[in-house]
Structure 1
Amino acid sequence: MKKIKILLLLLTVSVAGFYSCTDNDPVENEIVTSKSISLRVTLNEIKKANNINGKNDFATQDQAFCFNFVFPINLSYNNGTVVTVSSYEGLIAVLASETSTFYFEGIQFPFQVQQEGAITTIDDEAEFFALILECNFQTVNNFVFDFTCYDIVYPISIVNANNQTVVINTQAELIQQISTPTGTSTYQLNIVFPISLVQNGVTIVVNDLYEFFEINNDCPSSSCICTADYNPVCVQTTTGTVMYSNACFAICDGFTQADFVSCDPIITTNFGNGLGTCFTMNYPVQVQHQGALVTVNTNAELLQYYFPSWSSIPALVYPVTVNFNTPTGSISMVFANQTAFDSAIISNCN
């Protein structure tokens, strides 16, 4: 498990304090906060580090933080109430009172943090996300890479990097959205709630980000800090072959490299060989990639977004029209989803 820097000394002392804005306080009414996924990530780590709600079973005290807020900071609850938190002790106090119906979801930008003796200003959500990535906090991206705790019921909607709401139909599409090659910008998964999860045969409705974190905190692999990269490994169990998104999650679940087996036929692909020979695409088509929609006009362009280890087909935006070459001529087919396209490739290209 990676070592994370020890929590720095508090920047402020004295008594913890916070207060709510009211109509009688026109100055405080000018405070504008923004919803922040990164804030929820950070507060979750603080709660685990301080055994709030018994969560330190999943993280030890010396792995909690690599930065400290410069107080005061302004936070907002999910009902719009804004409070000013004037010290670390005050933050712990208000976090201890959070519930599933009354929790923090916003922060006022800019704010400052202290990290390795330096003061840094965080101007927006992108900078906040970059900060927590440095600290190896468990983000929403990390959570959805753990395939063993629950299954997401698809389709779901997300808000992509261009602030557009898009529909995700499969796990492969979701992983492709948040898997970022080296040297490119990183997209923070922004799920549109509510969504449904299936855990131990039971369907659970998750209404918001707070509930999503609570469920993931109780997953066994939440004690591990695994990167959000897709390099699947498989293990053989008494109930069949189980695929993990990478070796870290498998090891967190108690397996070793000696337990790893081939993932075939779980991962099967023939889109790359079939494109241009067995079938042709009617261009242009759109592909979901790194939180954005990309328009593609040629086979060569489309193959740039084909990642066989992630999905048997690029993350196309459906419907798409495909022409299959048969002994009697070309047949045009329209596909509404990846499952139908996969089935047609298997039927016509083998």
Structure 2
Amino acid sequence: MMKHFKLLFVSFALVTGLFTSCSKNEPISEELNIQKTEAITLSLNRLSQQFNSDGNVTASGNPSGNIVFDFGFDFVYPLHLSFNNNSSVYVNSLDDLIEILINSSTNLYIDGIQFPFNVEVYDENSNSIVVITINSEAEFYDLIESLDWDDQDECDCYQNYNPICVEVTDVAGVVFTVTYPNSCYAICDGFDADDFIDSCEGDYNGNTTYECFTFNFPISVITDQNLTITVNSQEELNTAVYNSFYFGFVYPFNVTTEEGDVETIENQESFNDLLEDCYDDLTDDCECYQDYNPVCVQIETPTGNLEIIEFDNECYAICEGFSAEDFVNCEIDDECDCDDEENITVCVEVEVDGQIEIYSFLNACLAECEGYTEADFVDCSGNTDCTTENVVIILLECPWTLNGTTTYEFNSDNTVEITGSGLSTTGEWSIEMSNDGYPIVSIISDIGNFSDDWHFVDCNQVNSLTVTSSVNPAAEILLNCD
């Protein structure tokens, strides 16, 4: 039974012993076809990013709330995995697997899997979940490459709650509904307007986030595997149903409405009524048709940058206070492919609260993607804070976070400690001045995908400390001195 994943403060040797009867002296790899493969390490590192250090699903990285769509596939359990010390473990559920991952370390980690094994994936041709068999490392790599994880990472969707739903068939032939916070997330997962159903109002089991009420925990749910699970928070609920295509509630339970009233939900019918009212509240203020004909507007963020946001159609944009005069070309973001652009820093002047600030961009392409043109570029020499000496002082001052999930703690001996997504590792860092006069901190991690080059393009800690990543220019890199 899936439970709230708890971080176990025990040695990994004990964790291993709980699941396996094989000793490292037995030739398990040959007898059971357990193969050392980088593909399992790569996929498990990626899977761990879907969860926080407590083993709970992170809402921002899992918009659909289902592992097949948010991660790309789901293992069919049980699995037989091996560690880098040649011991092995039988894993009977996602719960078990995440428990192992959040206890992984640089000294002990999963590096092998028994072939063949099965996975559940979404087949867009049949619009259904299907089971495929992975017979070799080559087939495992083919699966991973088909998931386009890099493209998904670049899919930056605005946090506007305007739910879009699609219908999919599971492996048993049952049709279920997948709910996305908005059309942007659905499109990033490969769906288009033709896949959207008219209304999410009927998605009584699939949507675990509601805007007009909150659950009074604890409550119990029944998964599509007929398991009854009691959860104590919305976070635990999201995690418990992460690898379920649909689930049902155990009645009765209580909710608190946005007005502060406590209501008892006695059965499915009363819960349906509650959701219908919730959906009506969502659409009452803005009675817009469900036609997908996107329009975009350009807004200035609190940091002075320009951002393009997309609405499903003109009606929703107008309901948010914009007019036709505010509409801009939605294809601007799609054309902003700066991966091959040479990194030569450019700057623009922006007025913030009546004062002129200089904003730096890693290259001209990124600046143009924010709506600036070459005519807006100014001399960057006015930014004198970015010396290698100043950067080293800032670098060592406090830990740094990347996208709020990974922490880098730099040491004066040029080592760096990296933690995040249930993993920890170490590495080395160095600093040099780029040809355009800005410091670059190079990070080489011992394991995982944590190596990067950080460009310090603005070092004013008071107004606009700006650090960009070579690996992921859209990443948010922040100094965390809390």
TM-score, length of structure 1 as denominator length? 0.36
Q: Which has the larger radius of gyration?
A: 2
More strand by share: 2
TM-score (norm 2): 0.27
